[in-house]
Amino acid sequence: MPRLFALDQNFPQPIVALLAEYLTEEAELVPLGDIDRRLPDMENDWELLLSLHHDGRPWDGLITTDTSMLSLERELAVLMQTRLTLVAAEEAGHDPLRATGLLLLHLPGICKATTPARAQIWHLRAPGRLPHLDPWDQLGRVARHRSTSARRLYRNAQLSASELARDPLAK
């Protein structure tokens, strides 16, 4: 049975809606405004958690980019009392697309571990910018695995000038 999570308004709803058909086994993500139009404008996050707890649907938790909730004692106390799961994805420089990707990466594991028996917090952080890989370094790794040199692998695998000039799509 998929987990039921309320989704805050900082996630790009059109993208999440398009992906919904692929998440059917893991989770149902429902925008706060679709639950009740007043929820996105609630002043206190603890009231939002309490509203989900009292709603008629069996909410597993809240997914948000508001990581400030992790340092607010009332919000944490209400989270524990309601036994909801809080998924706080850092926006990574106020980039909701990165936060969405981060959520989608971790969502299957979160859904498997979420239980109505206890409150949980999942604090998702995006790594810094990844450095590029140098193709020669990568070819060197392949070469070491094959007990040869990168230059020899390159020489054997590279295309001839005529092969390089031929467009595979041109017939």
**Is the separation of the CB atoms in 92 and 126 below 8 Å?**
yes
The percent of residues in the chain predicted with pLDDT above 70, rounded, is 95
Q: What local confidence, expressed as pLDDT, does residue 121 receive? A: 96
| 60/27 Cα distance (integer angstroms) | 10
pLDDT for 118 beyond 80 = yes
Q: What are phi and psi of 62, to 5 degrees?
A: -125, 135
**Is the separation of the CB atoms in 20 and 30 below 8 Å?**
no
- The better pLDDT of the pair 20, 116 is held by 116
Q: What local confidence, expressed as pLDDT, does residue 25 receive? A: 78
Helix (H) / strand (E) element for 119: namely none
Amino acid at 103: L
Q: What local confidence, expressed as pLDDT, does residue 153 receive? A: 94
Q: What local confidence, expressed as pLDDT, does residue 93 receive? A: 57
Strand order in the sheet with 61-64: 27-31, 3-7, 61-64, 85-89, 120-124
Q: What local confidence, expressed as pLDDT, does residue 57 receive? A: 95
Task: Give the residue-averaged pLDDT of 5-31.
Answer: 83
Q: What local confidence, expressed as pLDDT, does residue 1 receive? A: 79
Amino acid at 82: T
For the whole model, what pTM was predicted?
0.79
Q: What local confidence, expressed as pLDDT, does residue 95 receive? A: 77
For the chain, domains (ranges, CATH) are 3-124 (3.40.50), 135-165 (no CATH)
Q: What local confidence, expressed as pLDDT, does residue 92 receive? A: 58
Residue whose tokens read 């958690």: 49
pLDDT for 171 beyond 90 = no
Residue 144 CB: number of other CB atoms within 10 A?
A: 11
Q: What local confidence, expressed as pLDDT, does residue 12 receive? A: 84
Q: What local confidence, expressed as pLDDT, does residue 21 receive? A: 74
